[in-house]
Amino acid sequence: METTSPNLRPDYQNYKTYSMYDSDILIIRMNVDGRFLGAHNINMKDASVPLKLADNSAFVWNSYYVFGGQSFGFLTKKQNVTYDRIAPTTDSYLFRYNP
Range of the domain at 92: 2-97
Give the chain's domain count: 1
**Mean pLDDT computed over every residue of the chain:** 78
Residue pLDDT, tens place only, 15-31 = 566 666 677 888 888 99
Q: Which whole number is the average pLDDT over 35-64?
A: 81
What is the average per-residue pLDDT within 6-12? 69
CA distance 94 to 92: 7
- Calculate the CA dihedral of residues 9, 13, 19, 21 and round it to 10 degrees: 80
Let me know: does 79 contact 73? Beta carbons within 8 Å.
no
Confidence (pTM): 0.64
Distance of CA 46 to the CA centre of its chain: 12
Question: Does residue 69 surpass a pLDDT of 90?
Answer: no
Question: Higher pLDDT residue, 73 or 54?
Answer: 54
